[in-house]
Amino acid sequence: MSLDAEGIAEVLDEIARILELNGENPFKIRAYHNGARFLESLTDDLDELIASGRLAEQPGIGEALADKIAALRRDGRLDFHEKLRASLPAGLLDILTIPGVGPKKTRALWKELGITDIPGLQAACQEGRVATLKGFGEKTQARILDGIRNREAYGKRHLWAAVEPLVETLLKGLRQLPQVRMAEAAGSFRRNRETVGDLDVIVGSDEPRPIMDWFVARPGIAEVTAHGETKSSVRVEGGLQVDLRVVPPAQFFFALHHFTGSKDHNVAMRQRALSMGLSMSEWGLAPRDPGAKPPQAASEREVFAALGLAWVPPELREGHGEIDAAEAGALPDLVSLADLRGAFHNHTTESDGKSTLEQMAAAAEALGWEYLSINDHSRTSAYAGGLEVERLLRQVDAIKALNASGKFKVRILSGSEVDILRDGSLDYPDDILAKLDVVVVSVHAGFTLDEDEQTARLVRALEHPLAHILGHATGRLLLQREPYKVNLAKVIDAAAANGKSIELNAYPRRLDLDWTHWRRAAEKGVLCSINPDAHLADHLAYVRHGVNVARKGWLTKGQVLNTRPLREVLRWLGRR
């Protein structure tokens, strides 16, 4: 079985971890990690890159990695990888995931004590054997035990949307403290990643102590893991780790930039700084020439300006070419929430929604929208109250009547979220689909088809002349369910060729398609629809999360269908 780009990236990461345990050259290890990051953010078709021989020309990919990637794509396995794997007990890689235990310590545990997995490590700690090892001690042993105990609860990431309320409360509280000059969230949260590992908060102040004391005494804190002058860390109930860093105001914007990351972005920035005779760190820019004056920054814009760059929005800082674009003045003018004039793909009490048609209409009107499309489930999704033809037609009439009543200014569009059946056909006959304003087509079953079958299924649905928008294209549920196997490059090509839109499902647990695919899709001419997939009137506001992801995918207003006024949308839908 062949592997997709993400699967190959996982193998490269694992190779890197094994090389680490073997004490290999750290730069070689980084090359494998870089290769994995390249594959994860790949926007071109991998098969095309391999076939055309252009893979080895990609940044960070040389002949050796190109060969290995091609082999993994073709065979789904790699001799080199399997031999490496066989050289170590499998459990050692798990030990590596314990905080505070890296490759050197793991290797020492293995070679000195014969420990090869986590249960063995736990037992050795409890017997006090680990503390006797050179380089280890009582505290390390206790920390390892804690790490093992907390692995399940603390190891996992958190949905961006679940972290946001905490961020707001925390920043509000911090900004009210008299010692605080500035305070911002940084890290993956600020970069609008769909999930957040831990939360970084940066404060500018000359008086850190009272701020730290306030911070570690917040309600809802399960554990204080560090309490220092410049950094404190807590574990809040629910498992999220929050790190607070306090820096002098003059360093604030350098620190904010540094801790916003990403790592790849920072590496590229430091390389650029070096080429300009400057050394960059979280503390600022230090000239190589000791006589020169270090650049100052009274805003993050000035940090970039010091390196001859336009300000890069945080969500673009993933090392995906944003620095070249900033230098060339070619950064995109990103879509914003205020640009949206309506949304498609929303449910009501007719299927599995919890709000009525009128409640949905009222909520859309309160948001100032011009239109709202109702797309309840189709008949095959019986588990979700999918509508038989008769009930669907009654809903179409009810929507017509509501529009005619003049009760709301917002125009309600009638539609359906039509199941794409296993063979790629749609769940209603064409004469019924033709009566709808908006046909969203989605997969709700048959997740286990192989990649070729699943791809053909989606492509066939996109070729249907009455389909408008492909819903949640990969079916993933963040932190819960993996996407199904599908060749997205081909799906995107099919959408482009047939003039269809692909949805950016804004439901916080979906955010599907993923941000990494939108640049490619938009370049191919595919319009994005930022849809809430609302099952409750309040869920319409989820479009905010969709906008965050669209921005992260470099999308501009012009590339998003529901920024267009009603008249243009109706024309695009083919409804006069």
Q: Which residue has the tokens 């000195």?
A: 112
* Contact pick of 85, 151, 157, 231 for DNA (by CB under 7 A): 231
Residues 365-402 as b or e (16 or more Cβ within 10 Å = b):
eebebbbbbbbbbbbbbeebebbeeeebeebbebbeeb
Please report which residue ranges of 440-530 form alpha helices under DSSP H: 451-463, 488-497, 518-523
Q: Does 536 bind DNA (CB under 7 A)?
A: no
Pairing type for strands 231-236 and 221-227 reads antiparallel
Binding residues for DNA restricted to 45-104, rule: CB under 7 A: 58-66, 98-104
Euclidean distance between CA atoms 566 and 371, whole angstroms? 7
Look at strands 501-505 and 469-470 and give their pairing: parallel
Picking from 502, 560, 524, 533, the residue whose alpha carbon sits closest to that of residue 336 is: 560
Indicate the residue among 176 and 230 with the shorter CB distance to DNA.
Answer: 230
Q: Is 93 left (phi over 0), alpha (psi -120 to 50) or beta?
A: alpha
- The residue (of 131 and 159) whose beta carbon lies closer to DNA is 131
| Residue from 2, 150, 179, 279 binding DNA (CB under 7 A) | 279
Judged by beta carbon, residue 270 or residue 301, the one nearer DNA is 270
Is the Cβ of residue 53 or residue 429 nearer to DNA in the bound state?
53
For DNA, the closer of residues 100 and 238 by Cβ is 100
The minimum distance between CB 57 and DNA, in angstroms, equals 8
Using CB under 7 A as the binding criterion, the count of chain residues that bind DNA stands at 57
Candidate ranges 274-282, 483-491, 502-510, 532-540; the one touching DNA (CB under 7 A):
274-282
- Taking the least distance from each CB to DNA, the nearer of 74 and 104 is 104
140: contact with DNA by CB under 7 A: yes
Whether 389 and 432 have beta carbons less than 8 Å apart is answered as yes
**159 vs 145: CA distance, rounded Å:** 27
Burial of 282 (0-12, 13-18, 19+ CB in 10 A): middle
Can you tell me which of 106, 346, 395, 516 binds DNA, judged by CB under 7 A? 106
Using the minimum distance from each CB to DNA, give the nearer residue, 270 or 354.
Answer: 270
Q: Could you give the angle at which helices 160-175 and 543-552 cross, rounded to 10 degrees? A: 90
Token representation of residue 126: 């409890």
Contact characters 440-459, DNA, x per CB under 7 A = --------------------
Q: Which tokens sit at 96?
A: 């590596």
Angle at 135 between CA 132 and CA 138, to 5 degrees: 50
Per CB under 7 A, the list member of 54, 149, 175, 263 interacting with DNA is 263
Considering only CA atoms, which of 273, 203, 293 is closest in space to residue 242?
203
3-state helix, strand, coil in the chain (%, to 5): 50, 15, 35
Binding mask 14-43 for DNA (x = CB under 7 A): -----------x-xx-xxx-xx--------
Question: Is residue 198 involved in binding DNA (CB under 7 A)?
Answer: yes
Among 43, 192, 205, 266, interactor with DNA by CB under 7 A: 266
Could you tell me the smallest distance in angstroms from the CB atom of residue 442 to DNA? 37
> What residue has token string 């993050």?
300
Q: How far is the CB of 245 from DNA (least distance, A)?
A: 9
Tell which one of 88, 276, 283, 408 touches DNA (CB under 7 A). 283
Q: How far apart are CA 36 and CA 321, in angstroms?
A: 16
Residue 73: CB minimum distance to DNA, A? 15
Q: Which stretch binds DNA (CB under 7 A): 140-148, 411-419, 461-469, 551-559?
A: 140-148
Please say which residue, 91 or 99, places its beta carbon nearer to DNA. 99
Q: Nearer to DNA by C-beta: 271 or 299? A: 271
Tell the smallest beta-carbon distance from residue 256 to DNA (Å): 13
CB count in 10 Å sphere of residue 479: 13
Contact between 267 and DNA by CB under 7 A: the answer reads: yes
Sign, Cα dihedral of 311, 316, 318, 324: negative
- Closest distance between DNA and the C-beta of residue 159, in Å? 19
Is 136 among the residues that bind DNA (CB under 7 A)?
Answer: yes
Give the footprint of DNA on this chain (CB under 7 A).
Answer: 25, 27-28, 30-32, 34-35, 58-66, 98-106, 131, 134-141, 143, 187, 198, 200, 226, 228-231, 259, 263, 266-267, 270-271, 274, 279-283, 286
